[in-house]
Structure 1
Amino acid sequence: MDVVLASSPVDGDVGCWDLQTGAEQMRYRSCASAPHGLASVAGRFLASSQVGNSSSGSILYWSWHKPQVEIKSFPVEPIVSLVSDPDGSFLLGGGSSGNIYIWEIGSGKLLRKWQGHYLAVSCLLFLDNSLIASGSDDGCVRVWNLVSIFGERDNERMKDPFLFSFQEHALRITDIVSGFGSSNSILISSSEDRTCKVWSLSKGKQIRLITFPCIINAIALDPGEDVFYAGGRDGKIYLAALNATCPSNGKFDEYIITCLNEHSKAVTCLEITKDGLSLVSGSDDGTVRVWDIKSQRVIRVLKLRDGPVSNILLVQLPNSTSNLERVAKLPSLDKNLDPTGTLTAIRISPLNGPPDFGYCSSRLMLNAIKELKQRSSVGAMEMELDRLREEQRVCAQLLQRRKKLFDDLWRARIDTLLDDDQ
């Protein structure tokens, strides 16, 4: 089932509705998340950062089938933005001080912490399993390589570990989205300076600037990557072209095609379905609107009980909840940095049948292997082989990522030389 989730920055519930019918499915209680503070962890459970009036915040977990909070964690500082990697192995948090945190979900360990920005990290994005992008109140957009970050022992003192640092925006970054292609993709950022900028990650530079009539709070990229939608503080949703210009009417920038106008207050968040047929928008007017992209008309209006809408997620819920019971057994997230920085939890999935996204401590696994070895059992040999296969798989993935990074850097260097020759 495809569902729409919406949260508010005031103390209230997270609403959950069926995308196709608009029927309410659940209300997840006690959530007050700032923009970009709501995350689906690989579709297995819901996580949210809570930022109140106090100097500290919290991170909460909910199971899909229970309205109550199941796990509470208390980081050392308020976490503004929160995102999970595509596999649901890591949780990435952007702090109010500009620090970026990486937790291992299975063990709760804080693996890495580094000063990513000078001001609060307003938004975070996984480009793939190894590349992340961050936007900040300092107006800077940065792209990071996790392979390099995990390769550093004293990562709190790393000097310029980012791949790119785009500093052309004049004010706070409000949102970032990316296309397909990882390190060869495009990145779009919106800012309170009333512009959206398009960046080429293969070239490491800005390739387009679009100026809007108002501040843009949120953006959503069409799957075809020909256009993108920008939600403005004037309550309008602007449709902008990426690969062509539009006839000038003297009213909008040359890249702005049209605008959609149904919200009575500022548009705060946008999401687009994977098939590119529907656009979902949230607003300070407290409504979530589902748009038919072809006709550019609202086909459904959903209402939060209290306050404005700060976040929207589109999630495909699993058909069975049997593998979600383990959420309550996950550990809370550590406050302090793990001195070893090593991964200690391994995701276990069966060879046959539906995937099981549970976690098992590697220490428990090694103890089980040791015990079985003492019994000289065949099971110990099979478990040892499985462990070696997992290590081989991880090493192979790391090697492929390093090769891809080298190829991307080589292509970028060649493109730069060719551009200079022209």
Structure 2
Amino acid sequence: MHETILCTVAPSPTNPGPGYISVHDIQTGTSLASFKQNNATSHCTASLESKNGLGGLVMSAQQDKSILNVYNFQKDQLALKIVLPEKLTCIALDPSGDFCAGGSAQGRIYLWEIASGILYNAWHAHYRQVNVLRFTQDGAALVSGSEDSAVSIWEMARLLDDELQNDLPTPYCILSDHTLPVTDILCGVGPFPSCRILSASIDHSVKIWDPSTNTLLTTFSFPKPISHLAWDPTERIFFAASSGAEGEVYQVNLFRRVNLGKGKGVIGSGGSRELEAIGGKGVSDVIRVGEEDDSEGNRKRLMTVGQQITSLALSLTSTLLIVGTQAGTINIYDVPSHQLVRSISSHKGLAITYLTTMLRPSDLVGHVNGSLGIGVSGGGGGEVAGMCGRVVVPFERSRDGKRREGHEVGMILPFLGTTNRIDPTDYPYSELIVDHAFFVQPPSSTNVNSSQPNLQGKVTELESEVKYLREQLGKAKGVNDAMWENIVKKVVLKYDQAKEGEELSDQQLEERRRKRGRS
């Protein structure tokens, strides 16, 4: 398993040079691929992995113009430039790769279908700039965080409903317990609304929400404003990076060990220690991360990077923490020990504005996996055999109802479990033996004898058909030969006549010259 780091490198105040997108090996730090022409700030890049026979892609909204750059892993050049209605401050791609959402400085949110470019919805979602957009893991909801300190949840079913296109979209719920701008949002595992949502703000807090009840579960208070989050997929721990120049990352455990007392446990006679979840008491449940409280068993650990943090991510196994800085370095820390394992400094002077981890794409340019039977086709290097590139069409800048009405949307219905299906584990061994004997037994003599007359009749019929076809073929050859001889004779005759005419005309001219000479 080759895990890689995908990072976005953007110009910094100290280095206004061109930005790009780079792919690194997480074990060695070596650069595997690079995609040029990029100038995206934080939350303005989104990516999709290569899977299910479809190649991956990266979308990046440029901060200096209303342009969306599209890249795919199959070639190192810019695949498409999309002109947008206005500059975007954040974008997000749903997990299935069907829709792209973008937020603007005016508080508007746009929702496009990637394969058709249709603008399905555009509405004023917030009073101020939209800072971050996230889709839930199942793509059923879109979560937005804004400068107005609100976190809004939008149901995709309502945003895509044809009957509601003339109505202003209403959020599923608004989570408004933050007091300052929201800086980052993460969605937990599970289908919406059963999943949990993590939000960070400049008000020094990180909050955990329950969308199913629209309630606040727990508030974590930090000494400094929080700018970026990383959440373990098992939801045991999360990391919060401060926005200061010191570059501090806080590890917050969402569990603690509880001593059950003597005689109540199974680990020795001195008692045992079990794990219990932290928080969940509602609005009044505030846990201060900067203050150690050993009596409650809260283990909050601090990592100091020494540079301003601009992006944060966890490895696929959640054993490594990847930190991107304003100075252009990517630091990789071991989560259990908090030791610096590796530092990638090939982007010094530029800012790391986006980080994510993924398995090395099988269609990555220059690193095509030959063991999977995949090779670059001859069609200009844009496609890889066995891996199709995703269809991306330039996005609409305004809503077109007629185009949407004429558009057919393909979908895969989920398996509901109502159809009759044979479970392999329900196949009895006795029936397996009987079926096996039936299929492998040699044909009986009675069956052979009974089938011989039928076979002989078929052979006789086929022989007569072959004889008839041969006769027809001979007639066709005769007709063809007659036509050929007739045409050739006509052509030769015309040629001879024309030649005789030319010779006769030459003799007449010579005769006239002689007569003129006598006179």
TM-score range, shorter chain: 0.7 to 0.9
TM-score of the superposition, structure 2-length normalised? 0.62
Q: After the TM superposition, which residues 215-254 of structure 1 pair with which residues of structure 2 at under 5 Å, given as runs?
A: 215-233=225-243, 234-244=246-256, 251-252=290-291
Q: Secondary structure at the match of 2:160?
A: helix
What does the per-residue CA deviation read over 1:219-246, in whole Å, with 9 as the maximum and x for residues that have no partner?
1111221211001123011011324469
- Offset, 1:273: 2.1
**5+ long unaligned stretches in structure 2:** 12-17, 51-55, 257-277, 280-286, 365-375, 419-519
Which residue does the alignment assign to 1:72? 81
Q: Structure 2 vs 1, CA of residues 69 and 294 (structure 1 numbering), >3 Å: closer, same or farther? A: same
Any conservation in 2 of the 1:5–1:313 contact (CA below 8 Å)?
yes
Cα RMSD over matched residues? 2.8
Q: 2:184 aligns with which of 164, 172, 175?
A: 175
Which residue does the alignment assign to 1:330? 392
Q: 1:27 aligns with which of 34, 39, 51?
A: 34
What does the per-residue CA deviation read over 1:16-68, in whole Å, with 9 as the maximum and x for residues that have no partner?
2111221101221111111111111344111101111xxx4210011224332
Q: Secondary structure at the match of 1:148?
A: helix
Any conservation in 1 of the 2:314–2:356 contact (CA below 8 Å)?
no
* 2:310 maps to 1:268: yes
- Offset, 1:307: 1.8
Q: 1:14 aligns with which of 21, 40, 43?
A: 21
1:273 maps to amino acid: S
Which residue does the alignment assign to 1:63? 72
* 2:356 maps to 1:313: yes
Q: Secondary structure at the match of 1:14?
A: strand
- Offset, 1:311: 1.1
Q: Return the alpha-carbon distance in structure 1 between the equivalents of residues 39 and 405 of structure 2.
A: 32
Q: Return the alpha-carbon distance in structure 1 between the equivalents of residues 405 and 211 of structure 2.
A: 29
Which residue does the alignment assign to 1:114? 123
- Offset, 1:250: 9.5
Which residue does the alignment assign to 2:148? 138
Which residue does the alignment assign to 1:357? none
What does the per-residue CA deviation read over 1:140-192, in whole Å, with 9 as the maximum and x for residues that have no partner?
11111101121254546425x21110111111111011211231121110011
TM-score of the superposition, structure 1-length normalised? 0.76
Q: Return the alpha-carbon distance in structure 2 between the equivalents of residues 64 and 187 of structure 1.
A: 31
Which residue does the alignment assign to 1:4? 5
Q: Structure 2 vs 1, CA of residues 118 and 253 (structure 1 numbering), >3 Å: closer, same or farther? A: farther
Any conservation in 1 of the 2:328–2:349 contact (CA below 8 Å)?
yes
Q: Return the alpha-carbon distance in structure 1 between the equivalents of residues 393 and 339 of structure 2.
A: 44
1:41 maps to amino acid: L
Q: After the TM superposition, which residues 4-403 of structure 1 pair with which residues of structure 2 at under 5 Å, given as runs?
A: 4-10=5-11, 11-43=18-50, 44-52=56-64, 56-127=65-136, 128-151=138-161, 153=163, 155=165, 157-158=167-168, 161-182=170-191, 183-233=193-243, 234-244=246-256, 251-252=290-291, 257-261=300-304, 263-303=305-345, 304-320=347-363, 325=383, 327=389, 330-340=392-402, 341=404, 344=407, 393-394=412-413
1:239 maps to amino acid: Q
- Offset, 1:251: 4.6
Q: Structure 2 vs 1, CA of residues 397 and 139 (structure 1 numbering), >3 Å: closer, same or farther? A: farther
Q: Return the alpha-carbon distance in structure 1 between the equivalents of residues 134 and 288 of structure 2.
A: 35
2:247 maps to amino acid: G
2:306 maps to amino acid: S
Any conservation in 2 of the 1:46–1:63 contact (CA below 8 Å)?
yes
Q: Point out the structure with max Rg over C-alpha.
A: 2
Q: Return the alpha-carbon distance in structure 1 between the equivalents of residues 176 and 39 of structure 2.
A: 30
2:291 maps to amino acid: F
Q: Structure 2 vs 1, CA of residues 163 and 297 (structure 1 numbering), >3 Å: closer, same or farther? A: same
Any conservation in 2 of the 1:272–1:278 contact (CA below 8 Å)?
yes
2:44 maps to amino acid: G
**5+ long unaligned stretches in structure 1:** 347-389, 401-422
What does the per-residue CA deviation read over 1:264-287, in whole Å, with 9 as the maximum and x for residues that have no partner?
222221111232111111111221
Q: Structure 2 vs 1, CA of residues 140 and 343 (structure 1 numbering), >3 Å: closer, same or farther? A: farther
Q: Return the alpha-carbon distance in structure 2 between the equivalents of residues 240 and 119 of structure 1.
A: 30
1:231 maps to amino acid: A
Q: Structure 2 vs 1, CA of residues 45 and 250 (structure 1 numbering), >3 Å: closer, same or farther? A: closer
- When you count strand as a share of all residues, which structure comes out higher? 1
- Identify which of structures 1 and 2 has the higher relative contact order when contacts are C-alpha pairs closer than 8 Å and 6+ apart: 1
> What is the number of residues matched between the two proteins?
348
Any conservation in 2 of the 1:61–1:71 contact (CA below 8 Å)?
yes
